[in-house]
Amino acid sequence: MGAGAQTPLHGRLADVAAPVLLVAGAEDARFAAIARELAAAIPNARAALVPDAGHAVHLEKPRAFTALLRDFLARADAGRAPFHPPHAEEMRA
């Protein structure tokens, strides 16, 4: 492998045991699709697509991003049931 090359790890995604939150802007079709694909491959992962946001969802919709992250971290810390993102209407901010 040359400089900057990375070993493909897609085959090991099913081995990830930690809870995973994948956040993407719904207007960023490429990364929204990647988030869905990764969430399907990782056992305890969820994809949250923020409406009316593109690639920089954390900058474009900071309240929605922060709400998703806080809820995810609170559930992970409390050892509660797997995270399920709120409905799109709840994420508008």
Q: Given the structure tokens 């797997």, which residue do they identify?
A: 82
For residue 26, the enclosing domain spans: 19-91
The residues near 26 (Cβ < 8 Å, ≥ 6 apart) are 32, 49, 50, 51, 52, 53, 88
Quick one: what percent of the chain has pLDDT higher than 70? 82
In a domain, 58, yes or no: yes
Predicted confidence (pLDDT) at residue 26 exceeds the cutoff of 70: yes
> Does residue 87 carry a pLDDT above 80?
no
Number of independent structural domains in the chain = 1
7 token code pair: 């070993």
3-state secondary structure at position 48:
strand
Does 77 score more than 90 pLDDT? Answer: no
pLDDT tens figures, 53-62: 999 999 999 9
In a domain, 68, yes or no: yes
Give the C-alpha separation, 10 to 46, whole Å: 17
Q: Is residue 12 part of a domain?
A: no
CATH of the domain at 63: 3.40.50.1820
